């Protein structure tokens, strides 16, 4: 069910923690492995702020996209993140919309980055197709807090997190300077080989972040998504993939992996059409996502225990 929050106030940290305590009891896998003292051994390993598809631009609305409202919506999300102090924030792509010139796009990027940089937790950026439609990847990273390496991994609290970059054409060429069709997204061979080895090297549960979808075989999906899923499934460690791009809440489980598509911040006018969330990752890979405004709240089971 979508999370319907008050249009006048944002839920308090206390309310979120109370909600989380109730969710814990219902999570599959949480009661498994209980010892004689009643301790399940399953604990919150990481708290993560999540937001996607901001599409900031100083231009008139088109259909459901109200570009100039993005800074105000992001201000609300930043306030929530700063109050709840997650371990880090992940922005899942399309921070800006496309402009006609490199200079204009950099100006928009600088403007929205000033808002996002107000968040006090560390920031991670997933490259979206609009981030590098006109700009090169190097230009995007130079004007944000993004890593100079567009795909990478890191550990936090006994969980392995992976950032993927699917902003490549099927022929392996990286997006940039209007050289790509947004429906032609791919994880290139070198990145796929890196992913395979990276997953082999970890003993932790894994959460993956991507912009383009890795579940459905449609225009919003990575062209070689089936090949990527094979690598994820073979590891036996991947609990969930969080993704954006199609602007809607969606979910499916495929071969034991949760694929969670997050609603876009850009869609719709007014505070009630904002979208962002706080995710708790448990040490067995289970997830609790508390969605604000239009982002859905979810409770997802962890990895199966032997």
**Segment 88-116, tens digit of pLDDT:** 999 999 999 999 899 999 999 999 999 99
Tell me whether residue 6 is in a domain.
no
DSSP β-ladder status, 298-300 and 287-293: antiparallel
Does residue 179 register a pLDDT over 70? yes
Over residues 228-270, the pLDDT tens digits come to 999 999 999 999 999 999 999 999 999 999 999 999 999 999 9
The number of folded domains in the chain is 1
In this structure, what are the phi and psi dihedrals at residue 202, rounded to the nearest 5 degrees? -105, 145
Burial class (CB in 10 A: 0-12, 13-18, 19+), 8: exposed
Q: ∠283-261-70 over CA atoms, to 5°?
A: 110
Burial class (CB in 10 A: 0-12, 13-18, 19+), 22: exposed
Tell me whether residue 3 is in a domain.
no
Q: Which two three-digit tokens encode residue 33?
A: 């492995």
CATH number reported for the structural domain that contains residue 134 in this entry: 3.60.21.10
Tell me whether residue 61 is in a domain.
yes
Instruction: Compute how many other C-beta atoms are within 10 angstroms of the C-beta atom of residue 103.
Output: 9
- Closest among 202, 238, 236, 220 to 52, alpha carbons compared: 220
Tokens 């008139």, residue located: 60
Tell me whether residue 205 is in a domain.
yes
Tell me whether residue 296 is in a domain.
yes
Contact 301, 235 (CB under 8 A): no
Tell me whether residue 38 is in a domain.
no
Instruction: Compute how many other C-beta atoms are within 10 angstroms of the C-beta atom of residue 203.
Output: 7
> Could you tell me the pTM of the whole model?
0.87
Q: Which two three-digit tokens encode residue 8?
A: 């006048």
pLDDT at 41: 77
- What is the span of the domain harbouring residue 21? 13-30+47-300
What residues does 242 pair with on adjacent strands? 209, 260
Q: ∠279-114-261 over CA atoms, to 5°?
A: 30
Q: Whole-angstrom Cα distance, residue 159 to residue 47? A: 11
Tell me whether residue 5 is in a domain.
no
pLDDT at 285: 95
pLDDT at 42: 85
Residues with Cβ within 8 Å of residue 136, at least 6 apart in sequence: 174, 176, 177
């Amino acid at each position: 069910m979508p999370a319907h929050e008050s249009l006048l106030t944002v839920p308090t940290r206390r309310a979120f923690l109370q909600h989380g305590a109730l969710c814990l009891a219902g999570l599959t896998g949480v009661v498994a492995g209980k010892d004689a003292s009643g301790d399940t051994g399953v604990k919150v390993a990481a708290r993560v702020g999540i937001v996607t598809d901001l599409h900031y631009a100083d231009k008139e609305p088109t259909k459901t996209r109200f570009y100039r409202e993005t800074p105000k919506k992001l201000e609300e999300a930043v306030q929530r993140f700063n109050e709840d102090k997650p371990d880090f924030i992940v922005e899942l792509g399309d921070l800006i919309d496309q402009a006609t010139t490199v200079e204009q796009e950099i100006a928009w990027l600088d403007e929205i980055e000033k808002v996002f940089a107000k968040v006090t937790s560390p920031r991670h950026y997933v490259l979206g197709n609009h981030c590098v439609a006109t700009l090169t990847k190097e230009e995007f990273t130079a004007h944000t807090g993004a890593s100079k390496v567009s795909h990478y991994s890191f550990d936090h609290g006994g969980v392995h997190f992976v950032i993927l970059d699917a902003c490549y054409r099927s022929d392996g060429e990286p997006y940039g300077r209007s050289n790509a069709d947004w429906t032609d997204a791919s994880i290139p061979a070198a990145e796929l080989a890196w992913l395979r080895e990276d997953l082999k090297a970890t003993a932790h549960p894994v959460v993956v972040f991507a912009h383009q979808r890795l579940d459905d075989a449609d225009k919003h999906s990575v062209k070689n998504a089936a090949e990527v899923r094979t690598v994820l499934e073979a590891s036996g460690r991947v609990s969930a993939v969080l993704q954006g791009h199609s602007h809607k809440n969606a979910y499916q489980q495929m071969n034991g992996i949760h694929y969670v598509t997050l609603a876009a911040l850009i869609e719709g006018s007014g505070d009630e059409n904002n979208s962002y969330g706080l995710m708790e990752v448990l040490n067995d890979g289970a997830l609790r996502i508390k969605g604000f405004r239009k982002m859905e709240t979810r409770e997802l089971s962890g990895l199966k225990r032997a």
